[in-house]
Chain A
Amino acid sequence: MASPAIVLPEHCSEEKLSGIWSWITTVDHKRIGVMYGVSALSFFVLGGVEALAIRTQLAMPNQSIVGAHFYNSLVTMHATTMIFLMVMPLSAAFFNYMVPLMIGARDVAFPRLNAFSFWTFLFGGLFINSSFFFGEAPAAGWFGYANLTSIQYSPGPGVDFWALGLQTLGVASLAAGFNFIATILNMRAPGMSLMRMPVFVWMTLVVQFLVILSFPMITVALILLSFDRMFGTNFYVPEAGGDPLLWQHLFWLFGHPEVYILILPAMGIVSEVLPVFARKPLFGAPFVIFSGILIGFVGFGVWSHHMFTTGLGPVADTAFSLATMLIAIPTGVKIFNWLATIWGGSIRFTTAMLFALGFISMFTIGGLSGVMHASPPIDLHHQDSYFVVAHFHYVLYGGAILGLFSGIYYWFPKITGKLMDESWGKVHFWSSIIGLNVTFFPMHFLGMQGMPRRVYTYEGGFGWDLWNLCATVGAFTLAISALIFFINLLKSLANGEQAGNDPWDGATLEWTLTSPPPVHNFDLMPKVTSERPFWDQKYGSTHGHDDTTEVAEEEQLPAEIHIHMPPASYWPMVVSFGVITFFGGWMIHPAVAVCGALTVIVGTVAWTFEPE
């Protein structure tokens, strides 16, 4: 019997889906995902150039290639860019593109809100970076410790760009957070119970809860900061009874969960990639999932381990030290479960798999050095030294970014219909691993030799020269590896091998679709009866009883299926423009901010009454 004809609304026709306007007004989660990905990779280049400038300055002692103030701007913007404009949105690219496909949905719960999140993120990112052209880029560190950020000690516009830009990014993240929670909880295909959800979707869910619970904290912190700077309040001004330590508590209440916002998506990707290329199910999936949830919970109770040097007293130091050690347990569980996943498997060394294996190896280094500074006596040496720089780069480059690269190589064929070049991919992998270790491993030694972070210059004679030069050579190696990646990406996009629907012999629902998937994703809602629906369909269930995935019974199907798809809309972008005008406007004139607020109101109302 023939498959039923799929009838899509008129606005989903081919000609309506081409041209720049169709991208600006799109509410398709796949296109929004691609836009997140392209923006994040562009910011990756920007943050990388900043890193190279930093490493060039520090290649040798007593250099003055950049000045002190500009160096502090580079440090601040490198971190801000890589965290908020690279790792988070690149994760968001996968949330957007893959989550609906993996749970068997046609789109996210609120497609226009999704477009709003993207445009608000993009405007916020451009706004912060525009500070380079308006006198001063923020230079008080990505952590913006009060009272260095006060108008007295940072009189330039940089801190305002930073505070208002982060507010904007927070709005984008919060909207996306609620959107994905609603999507994951409500829009799963029939039969996909929570414990049958792919681990990547689980980690996405945990991340979104972290986002909606932690971003309000930095929102408050930033409002107080902006009030101090613009309206003369004294929340963080010690001379007037304010407290700089208040900022640190608020910031790290956000900042520590943020660390897990950065790493959990990569852990989710690795948990998808390892089983597919080892041809085994994820070992102890419930342990991996509950570990992720536990990391999310405990992640809210460890913030003061960033503040052991501030003198909180022995009670707080003890409590936060023990809580921090506690968080090592679920992290360790994941590492061993991943190892057990590949153990006894039949491993195919694709580039995606290499990056996932690289993740295990490199992330372990960052995790273990994290255990070291869970102990305050040790942390009092490590804090603000290069040891910490080594630690979190192993977590963020060796962890988050290697995981995200794995995701790119893994899902690129699904997104574009073409395979990425495997030989170039392997060159990319090995140059990344070499560059990463040559750059960041010597930083452990620098920290042990007493080199502090965020110094724009240093003297010879401290034993730091060799390791700094080594790190600089490594940084340029990493730059070359990134260049290889981008060449591979563009080359494969232009003339990569055809991928087909299921190039990796995948296990999850996205591989049942064409590459790239049709605009409405699924013709028929899949029925899910295990955590590996597509695998079971191909190889039969391995749970010992017959619960294979099946499409709806053919005889029940009508001849035509009419699918509802949301129409394109420019209102999300208008509202985003209002948001950035509102926040940015405060730097120009309150009237501009009022115009921004009005744009938000008008845009929201128009959006609400938009015919569907």
Chain B
Amino acid sequence: MHIRIPSIRSMLSSVSALTFIALSGCYTRFDPLTFKDDPQSTMMPMSDLALSTDEIYWPVIWITVAIFVLVQVLLTVAVVKFREKPGEPMPEQVHGNIKMELGWTLLPVVILVAIAFPTVTRIWEAQTAPEGEVFEIKVVGKQWWFAFEYPELGLVTANEVHLPAGRPVHLALHSGDVIHAFWIPRLGGKRDLMPGRINHIWLTADMPPDGQDSIRLEGQCAELCGDSHALMRMEAIVHTPESFDKWVAAQKQAAATPTEPLAAKGAETFLAAGCIACHSTDPSNAQAFLAPNLSHFGSRPRLAADRFENNAENLAAWLRNPQAVKPGATMPNLNLNDQQVDALVAYLHSLK
């Protein structure tokens, strides 16, 4: 009779499958710990990448909670039961018990193997490019803002990354100076932007919930990158396909020419004061990684790397003294007078 011995590989994969099924049984999300109303929650997945993390996160939480409870219960019982009583004889001098010790050496091995299999499969899944067509986005981190380039569309944006839902996206991560990290928790874990290297994130964002056109997801730099690290924020805007097409069409339009007199004066100031030396108002200017592209600045709800509300007051404060708003910012203080500031505010807000 011929007996087939399963190969190591197939045994491993069946163990993996079994542990995974066992673990998935523990995939119970605990509502108060999803922090579902918090815009940067790591526990509210909005992409396939974030969901695959979530599926291992919860079982691991429950396993650690179980071990924690076990240890604390044993400790509490020992402390209550074995407290010194008056006149008590000397306790039995036990030096050890090899069988028990081997037992609690092997128990963690079993638990760790159960965690290891789904971990390893996820490591490989997350770092393998999906087959078929992928929407490319280049991310560049700079002190202290993010630039995004969409090569297929010939567009650039600053501090807002727009994603089409339901399409695989490849984020190619670059740095223009020091190490930063790209982290939009609801889309998945973080990856560093390393100077001299390119890192990758592949993900497919979920459709915006409740029939919305788009949803804004908060994120920020997670690697200490200098003084204003705390202020280096960004937003991801996940669009339905229709909404995304609409956004692309709007974005491709050249920057609006101001009609209002004050805004027109601001446009002149933009050239005269030298803003144009760093900031482009051409939405396709992919070379402009020097400073945020301002083509549609007026349509952004936030300014200074997604940190402050984009209103006249905040913008004026920024123009008067960028370092006061964002310590160490590269933008120099141009010593603008009040008229210039007002004109620039009017102009920049007209760039919808």
Contact = CB atoms under 8 A, between A and B. Distances in A.
Interface stretch (B31-39, B206-214, B235-243): B31-39
A322 B116 contact: yes
Contacts of B115: 325, 371, 374-375
B42 interface: yes
B123 A449 contact: no
B123 A314 contact: yes
Nearest to B55: A377
B197 A311 contact: yes
Given A329-B112, A377-B56, A381-B185, A245 B79 contact: no
Contact of A384 (B60, B100, B222): B222
A371 to B, nearest CB: 6
B53 interface: yes
Contact of A280 (B94, B119, B189, B221): B94
B74 A542 contact: no
Given A281-B94, A321-B116, A451-B40, A375 B124 contact: no
B274 interface: no
B221 A452 contact: yes
A74 to B, nearest CB: 13
A459 B123 contact: no
A361 B224 CA distance: 32
Contacts, number: 287
Interface in A133-179: 139-141, 145, 147-148, 153
A227 interface: no
B179 A347 contact: no
A314 B202 CA distance: 14
A280 to B, nearest CB: 5
B153 to A, nearest CB: 26
A457 B228 CA distance: 9
B224 A148 contact: yes
Contact of B122 (A244, A371, A377): A377
A415 B172 CA distance: 60
A309 B84 contact: no
A332 interface: yes
Interface in A357-372: 357, 360-361, 364-365, 368-369, 371-372
B35 A445 contact: yes
A97 B97 CA distance: 33
A325 B79 CA distance: 30
Contact of A458 (B42, B119, B230): B230
B178 interface: yes
Interface string A312-328: 01100110011001101
A310 B173 CA distance: 11
Contacts of B105: 287, 329, 332-333
Given A281-B93, A325-B116, 19 more contacts: A148-B178, A153-B178, A244-B194, A283-B96, A309-B222, A321-B120, A332-B108, A339-B71, A343-B82, A345-B82, A372-B61, A377-B52, A380-B53, A380-B191, A381-B57, A383-B222, A448-B42, A449-B41, A456-B230
21 contacts: A72-B224, A140-B224, A284-B101, A309-B222, A310-B199, A311-B192, A311-B194, A317-B123, A325-B112, A328-B108, A329-B109, A335-B71, A339-B74, A360-B75, A361-B71, A364-B67, A369-B64, A377-B119, A380-B189, A383-B189, A539-B90
Interface of A: 67-69, 72, 139-141, 145, 147-148, 153, 238-239, 243-245, 278-281, 283-287, 309-311, 313-314, 317-318, 321-322, 325-326, 328-329, 332-333, 335-337, 339-340, 342-349, 357, 360-361, 364-365, 368-369, 371-372, 374-381, 383-385, 445, 447-459, 461-464, 539, 542-543
Interface of B: 33, 35, 37-43, 52-53, 56-57, 60-61, 64, 67-68, 71-72, 74-75, 78-79, 82-85, 88, 90-98, 100-101, 104-105, 107-109, 112, 115-116, 119-120, 122-124, 126-128, 143, 173, 177-179, 181, 183, 185, 188-192, 194-197, 199-200, 218-231, 307, 327-328
